[in-house]
Amino acid sequence: MHKKSSVYLRRKVAREAALLLYTLQEKEFKQAKERAAKNLGLRVLPTNLEIAEELDLIADEYEGDERKNRLVRMRREALEIMEILKEFNPRVIGSVWRGTVNKNSDIDIVVFSQNKDLVVESLSKRNLKISAIEVSPAAKDGGGKTTHIFVELPSGDQAEIIVRNQEDIFKEEYCEIYGDLKRGLNIDELRNILRENPLKRFIPAKKILKSQ
């Protein structure tokens, strides 16, 4: 297949996959790209990054300036939650960190504690509404459990507090979409961003992509 044709077709599938994700018909990138290719009768698969870029464009098209307002609001809400949980070394991650939120986004905050009940207690003391608590196996290296605490905020936004073991605090993890280190922002860094450039994005410079 000619290189230009391949790029065009991958972008076409990426757009379809992004629409499936944006409309919540699919939740995972892998399933979205496979379904998109099938829907279009094509055999090329875009990278996760190509899908993320199309999802970003779609959010801008559909949401306009409200998207910027949402990002600032969610970053402020994240800071409030992180200040409540400051003893657990919180970091905001995900789309609120990246600056790529859309209407379906929630606030993802990772904290570090050997006792999830202490985290729950800190949230409850501030009358935050906990809608669910789930425990899942820890990520790919397989040790221990990870607790997910879901919080409903007065604005209608949702936050997911991810409780990891304290020894994981220095563990490096790479993003499956952007390929960079998932650093996130700590309290001081997020406070500075809100003061100096509340719409700042944390996305790696664009690279030449290969199909995956």
pLDDT in tens, 30-41: 999 999 999 999
Nearest alpha-carbon partner for 161 in 121, 209, 200, 104: 121
Higher-confidence residue: 6 or 91?
Answer: 91
What pLDDT is attached to residue 4?
Answer: 56
Region 65-196: CATH code: 3.30.460.10
Contact 203, 153 (CB under 8 A): no
What pLDDT is attached to residue 145?
Answer: 80
Band of residue 88 on the pLDDT scale cut at 50, 70, 90: very high
Mean pLDDT of 66-76: 97
Tokens standing for residue 58? 């779609």
Mean pLDDT of 86-94: 97
Mean pLDDT of 27-51: 95
What pLDDT is attached to residue 3?
Answer: 56
In this prediction the pTM is 0.89
Whether residue 202 is predicted with pLDDT greater than 60 in this model: the reply is yes
d(CA 16, CA 26): 11
Whether residue 209 is predicted with pLDDT greater than 60 in this model: the reply is no
Give the domain ranges of the chain: 3-63, 65-196
Quote the percentage of the chain above a pLDDT of 90. 84
Whether residue 138 is predicted with pLDDT greater than 90 in this model: the reply is no
Nearest alpha-carbon partner for 10 in 56, 43, 35: 43
* Helix pair 29-40, 48-63: axis angle to 10 deg: 80
Whether residue 210 is predicted with pLDDT greater than 50 in this model: the reply is no
